[in-house]
Structure formats: structure tokens, C-alpha cells
Structure 1
Amino acid sequence: MRVALLSMLDSAGEPGEGHKAFIPFAGKTVARRQIELALALGCERVVCLADNLGPGLIALQHEVESAGAKFHVISVPRALCGLVYATDELIMLADGVLPLADEARDILAKGNAIVVVSAETGIPAGFERIDLNHAWAGALVMPGKLVERLNELPQDCDGVSSLLRIALQGRVPERVLPDAVLAEGRWAMLSTVGDATSLEPAWFRRHAASADPFTPGRWLAFGLAARFGVGWLNRGIRPAYLLTCAVLLLCLALAGGWMGMIAGGFAALGFSWFLADASQSLDHGERAGRERKPFFAKVIQAFALAADLAVIALLAMAMDGMFASLFALLFIPLTLMGLVWLVPYLSRKRWAGLLGDRVVLALILALGATMDILPELTQCLILILVGCAIILSRAERRLTQI
């Protein structure tokens, strides 16, 4: 069994800032991010070394227990001996370590190891030197049988430092993290709230999803999420909230079309796509450094399909009465959306992405509805897309040459 030990004793360094473990970073405390890492590594028991059981720890307890693991709080290091057996593995994370590097997670997942960084970069970053060339990166995996040596030390010993020395004396192998991990802020030692504040923006922009400028709607949505995402997360705005707003706008668009407000319906639909793209970028940033869950991606795919069907529905509502049969009514909207799906996949050229940008499409159709030329505009878009399909497919040599 794997047991995680998280230290939550050190103060944040400034009066009133509390403990390092509860420094917020991009909407989550350091302690919560450490617990997410521990659970991702398969820990069945999480032990927190803390001086009291406050509201912050109670919230962490609920998260751990909801994941099916056991949660314990101890105030003295020796109490750990009764929670870790000789056959267990102990994963220890130091106070204030921000665990967002996949490289470190891979090292810890493989078994016994002391994660280290070069002393040249690690010492200035706040990590503890362990020898001439290396500093401890604040994470290790050690055999459970070594934990019993805590009983040989004084009652008031520093638990984290003591276990680190025990692991070094027990010849637990050292594994080096690349310097780039520290430079990119994917693994850091946070001592104050100011450390987190200075690190957050660049870190989030690096991990939030990005898009090509030739897809202007998505590019703008991703850019805004990258610019303001940290502020949103720190204010409690989660990706699911943006996606929920996108779904509500999608429903509003359909309701507007049903009541004859076709231009407003397309405008609402374009903004709903914009919010869905922003939520996707925000989700990428929020989940950086931990295992991604497919549920959110599946919801995004379902929304994209529903939004494309909404375009067909709005066009059909706008042209209702112009055709004698339902098939004839749906032919133009289905042709348009079929080409919007197909054409961007016919070429690797960057500008081809513009032909599939849903936000741009919705705004163009909203403009056509406002000017009362929506049927004619839709037919022109179909001709343009057919022409682009021929040009792109010939350029990529994907059509059979006669």
C-alpha cells in the first residue's frame, strides 16, 4: 500500500498569511494540489503532519475520503510509525512544494526515489541542499520499513528533515529533475503568497490551451482565458461554470429563433461557442500537472454537436415557408454545416481553419439575418465553401486526377 505524508507546519513567512500548505495557486491551495498528486499516484492513505485540525484540513479530508482513501492528521512524527507498515511505500511531499511537473510524477510513480534538482538552480529556488551538487526537490518515495527509525529520534524532531536523512542513509536512489521544470514553474517551492502571485500568470498561460489566429473566434476565446484565467480561478469561476453559461446561451438562441428573433439567436449562439472555447482553455490550465479526466472533453464534444444542430435549426426557422417539404427546407442548412465540417480537414494550411470557425460563422449569419438576406447569404457561403474545398483538395492532391 502507498501512504502519503504531507507536511503542513511551516508558516508562509508573512504575518497573517497562515501556512505554506494553504497558499492559493490558480484557484487551489498547495495542499490540495499535493493531495491530488498523492491520489493520482495511488495512495490509499493520506497523513497530514499539522498542529491542529482546522477548516482547511477538514475540506481536504472530505476530498480524500470521497476518493476512497483514508485520511489522518498527526502532530508528532513518531505517530507515523503506527500508520505505515514495513511492506508499504511512503510518499512524502515537503511543506510548500507546488507539484505540477509530469516528470516528477513519473519518477514518484516508479517506486523508491529521492527527487533532486541541481544545486545551482535548486538552492536559489528555495530547495534544501543535500550534497555538493544536488538539492532535495521536496518529494521522495521510501520503503515503509525505514519509517520505524523515527522511534530512535527525539520526540520533537523535524519529521520531514528526519525522514529525508533516513532515506539518504538507507541509500534510496536519487532521481534528478530537469532544470527546465523549475524554470517553467512546474515545480516550485512557495514560501509566501507573493511567490504564488508572481508565478501564476506565466505558468497558466503556458498550460492553457492555445489556438491559431486563423481561427479568430477560438483564438480570442483562448487568449482571454489565458490572460484572465488565473483571476477567474482565484474568484471561484470554474470551467464548468463557463460551459454551463454556454449551454444556457445555446438554449436562449433556440428560443430566440423560435420566437422569430433569428439575428439575436445567431448572436447568442456565437457567444455560446465563445464561452465553450474559453471553458476548454480554462480546463487545460486548471488541470495542468494532474491526470486529465475525459468527462469534460466529452461534454465539450456534445456541446459542439448540439451547437452545430442549432445552426441547422435556426436556418430552418428562418427559411420556414420558403419550401414545400421538410427535406427541401433542411437541404441548404445541412449542406452548409456539412461543408463547414468537411472543408477544414481537406488541407493542412493554416488559413483553412478560418472556414470552420463557428464563432465567425454565427456572426456572419447574424449579420445576414439583420440585413434580411440570410437565405441568399447562406447559398453564397455554400458556393464559397465548395470552391475552397476544390482548391484545397487539389492543392493537397486528395482528389483523383483524371
Structure 2
Amino acid sequence: MLAGLIFAVEEASDRPGTLVATLPFGGMTLLEYQVRLLAGAGAEQVLIAVGRMTPALLAAVNRASKRDVAVEIVRSAEEASEKMEPNARVLVIADGLVTTDPVMDRMAGEGAEALLVTDDATSPAAIERLDMRDCWAGIARISVPQLGQIAQMPEDYDFQSALLRVAAQSGAEHITLSAAWLRSGHAVERSADGLASRNTGVLAALTERRTDWADRWVFTPIARLALPELVARTVPGWGLMAGAGVVAALALTAIAFGWVGSGALGALLATATLATGAAMAALRGEEARTRGFEWAILALFAAVAMLAARGVQDATQSATPLVLALVAVVAQFLVERVPSRHRRWWASPSALLLLITPFSLAGFVTAGLAAVAIYAFATLAAAVEGTREKA
């Protein structure tokens, strides 16, 4: 079993009386974001180590408790060890830590005790020196018996520092913080301004989850520009879905009336909105909603292709456009279902929409449908071959 332990004790350096854990981050509080990270890493239970309760902290804990993970408050190592399963692996997050899913996934892996470290004492991730070379970088994997050891110490001990010392003295593995993790925003912040600056870096890292060329070079930059503003204004995820739905409906209506090029451009705008919504949902740990946004892009492509094909079929009295559209849609649906790791050049619903748009604007809809059908089918063949190689 994986459990989490978050420290929420320190006050913000620029907001006296306000705990760092309750500062805003990513459209929520930092504490809620940390709980989201632990839940995403597989934690079934999260304990919040506090020194004092504030109304803001209580509200943040209550909101975090709505996730599919048990969240409780503790005030000591003894209380924490009593509430955890004896054989649990405990993932510890330092007070004020900002990080991302890849770091959490690495630290949550099976194995003995481990400490995330950096050899740069001036790094924003460096918290406390462990030895002559390494400093703790904010995440530790420990065992419940180690919490029990801390509980035997005098009452005036510092919980976080004592835990770190016990883990270090037990011979915990040192896992070095990589440059990529640091660039993605991994750091410890004690101020509201510092968290705001880290927010942009973490949002940028989240938009990288979509790896195909169309998302990387077209839709990811759009999401990266839009997300900070949307998060700052606390725009809800359903708002983006609704907005994309309106634009998509207008685009499909235009295609149905024969304005295929204009409709394809509208579909691209709707796709950009959906891609941004998917990144926002990922930030908030809403995996079901993230998948919903991604499937909505596939559904939009299918609707564009089928409506465009129907219009050409009516004009030419040929079944070829409809057959090409069906091949493209079915092939791409199967690509999404194949478990192979997607490659940069592979087709995606957004890439297929990008590809068909210039053909539609030029009036060569059938040629565009042929292009997307060939592209989707070639991707499906590569995906199937990749699955065979793994087998």
C-alpha cells in the first residue's frame, strides 16, 4: 500500500499568518495540488502533518477529501504511525514543495527507503543538507516503522527534520533530481509570488503530455499561453467544454451547408479549446475529464470527416469520399485503442484535422479525405507492428 504524508506547518514569507499550504496554486491551493499528485501516484491514504489549524487549511483539507483518497490531519509522528498500515510505503512531501507527476511516479516506485536529492546547495529545490555532497530535494520514501522511531524522540523535535534524519541514517537510496525535473518547476517555495512564478512552469510541463507533432507544435503552444490566464481567473473545466461545444456546433453547421473550409477552421478552434481543457483537467487531477476532452477531439474529427464526405458524395454521386472518411475514422479510433507508445509522427485526431483543413480551404475535399485516410491507416499499421515487437 502507498500512503502520503504532507507537511503543512510553515507560514508564507510574504503573507504573515497564512500557511504556505493554503496559498493558491494551479486554480486550487498548494495542499490540494500535492494531494492530487499523491493520488495520481497511487496513494490510498494521505496524512497532513500540521502545527496549527486555520480556517483556510481546514477548507483545503475538506476539498481535498473529495478525491478518491482518504485525507486526515495529524499532529505528530506517533499519531501518523498509528493511522497508517504497518507495511505501507510512505511518500513524504516537504512543506511548500511544487513538483510534477513524473517525479512523483519515480519516487512512488517499489523499493526500499529513498530520498530525492540535489548536489546543488543553491538550487530552489534544496531544503536541508544531508551530507557533504547532497541536499534533500523535498520528497522521501520511508516506512511506517521509521515514523515510529521519530515518535520516541523528545516532544520538541521538528517532525520534518527528524524524519529526514532517520531516513538518511537508515541508508536510504539517494535519487538525484534531474535537470528536466528542475526545469518542469520542481522547487520549494515559501511565498505567494514564488508559487505564482512556479505555476507557469508546471503548467508548461503539463501541456507536454500530448506528444504528437500537431499538439506539440500547434495546440500545446496555444494551451501554454492560455492556461495561466484561465487558471488565474478560475475558469471551470465545464466552461471550456461548453465553449468548445458551441464552436464545434457552428463549425459542423457550416460544413453541412457546404462551407467546408470555414467549418474546418472552426473545428481547429474548437480543438484548441478542447486541448487546453485537457491540460487544465490534468493539472487538477481530473483524469476522467481529461480523457473526455481527448475523446471529444476524436468525435469532432469524425463528425467533420463524415459531414464533409456526405457533402461531396451528394455533389458527385460517388461513394468514394464516404468510404475514405470511414477508413480514416475507424483507423484512428483503433490507433487510440492500441496500447503501443505513441510516436511523434503518428496521426492523432488533431493532426488529422490540421491535415484536412488546407485541402478543404482549396476545395479539394476528396483529396483531403484520401490524405487523412492514408495517414490514419499508416499509423494504425505502425501501432500494430509496435505491439507485435513488444510481444
TM-score by length of 2: 0.73
Question: Aligned equivalents of 2:368 and 2:141: distance in 1?
Answer: 60
Specify whether residues 305 and 88 from structure 1 end up closer, same or farther in structure 2 by C-alpha distance, changes over 3 A only: closer
Specify whether residues 105 and 339 from structure 1 end up closer, same or farther in structure 2 by C-alpha distance, changes over 3 A only: closer
**Cα offset, 1:104, TM superposition:** 4.8
Which structure's CA Rg is the greater one? 1
Question: Aligned equivalents of 1:35 and 1:126: distance in 2?
Answer: 21
Question: Aligned equivalents of 1:142 and 1:302: distance in 2?
Answer: 41
Question: Aligned equivalents of 2:114 and 2:122: distance in 1?
Answer: 14
**Cα offset, 1:193, TM superposition:** 2.1
Specify whether residues 227 and 256 from structure 1 end up closer, same or farther in structure 2 by C-alpha distance, changes over 3 A only: closer
- Show CA shifts across 1:318-365 (max 9, x none): 875x57xxxx26x364266469779x99xx998x99x96525744764
**Cα offset, 1:161, TM superposition:** 1.3
Question: Aligned equivalents of 1:356 and 1:153: distance in 2?
Answer: 59
Q: What is the identity, as a one-letter code, of the residue corresponding to 1:144?
A: V
CA contact (8 A) 1:121 1:179 kept: no
Q: Does 1:54 align with 2:55?
A: yes
Q: What is the identity, as a one-letter code, of the residue corresponding to 2:44?
A: E
Q: What SS does the aligned partner of 1:18 have?
A: strand
Question: Aligned equivalents of 1:179 and 1:316: distance in 2?
Answer: 52
Q: Does 1:132 align with 2:124?
A: no
**Cα offset, 1:180, TM superposition:** 0.9
Question: Aligned equivalents of 2:142 and 2:178: distance in 1?
Answer: 23
CA contact (8 A) 2:3 2:88 kept: yes
Q: What SS does the aligned partner of 2:95 have?
A: coil
Q: What SS does the aligned partner of 1:208 have?
A: helix
Aligned residue in 2 for 1:168? 168
Question: Aligned equivalents of 1:332 and 1:192: distance in 2?
Answer: 62
- Show CA shifts across 1:286-321 (max 9, x none): 637x9894774465345424433334325645875x
Q: What SS does the aligned partner of 2:167 have?
A: helix
Specify whether residues 189 and 182 from structure 1 end up closer, same or farther in structure 2 by C-alpha distance, changes over 3 A only: farther
Q: Does 1:271 align with 2:257?
A: no
CA contact (8 A) 2:252 2:303 kept: no
**Which range moved further: 57-66 or 180-189?**
57-66
Aligned residue in 2 for 1:397? none
CA contact (8 A) 2:88 2:143 kept: yes
Cα RMSD (Å): 4.3
Aligned identity (percent) is: 17
Aligned residue in 2 for 1:283? 278
**Cα offset, 1:128, TM superposition:** 1.0
Query: What residue ranges of structure 2 are gaps of 5+ in the alignment?
Result: 336-342, 379-391
Q: What is the identity, as a one-letter code, of the residue corresponding to 1:176?
A: I
Aligned length, in residue pairs: 362
Aligned residue in 2 for 1:24? 24
Q: What is the identity, as a one-letter code, of the residue corresponding to 2:304?
A: A
- Show CA shifts across 1:243-274 (max 9, x none): 4432333333344566x4x43x7535532333
Question: Aligned equivalents of 2:219 and 2:266: distance in 1?
Answer: 10
CA contact (8 A) 1:221 1:274 kept: no
Out of 297, 307, 311, the residue aligned to residue 313 of structure 1 is 307
Question: Aligned equivalents of 2:232 and 2:31: distance in 1?
Answer: 15
**Which range moved further: 303-312 or 356-365?**
356-365
**Cα offset, 1:166, TM superposition:** 2.6
Query: What residue ranges of structure 1 are gaps of 5+ in the alignment?
Result: 369-373, 393-402
**Cα offset, 1:10, TM superposition:** 0.5
Aligned residue in 2 for 1:223? 221
Aligned residue in 1 for 2:322? 334
Question: Aligned equivalents of 2:181 and 2:42: distance in 1?
Answer: 25
Specify whether residues 363 and 243 from structure 1 end up closer, same or farther in structure 2 by C-alpha distance, changes over 3 A only: farther
Question: Aligned equivalents of 2:354 and 2:241: distance in 1?
Answer: 15
**Cα offset, 1:207, TM superposition:** 4.2
Q: What is the identity, as a one-letter code, of the residue corresponding to 2:322?
A: L
Q: What SS does the aligned partner of 1:120 have?
A: coil
Q: What is the identity, as a one-letter code, of the residue corresponding to 2:269?
A: F
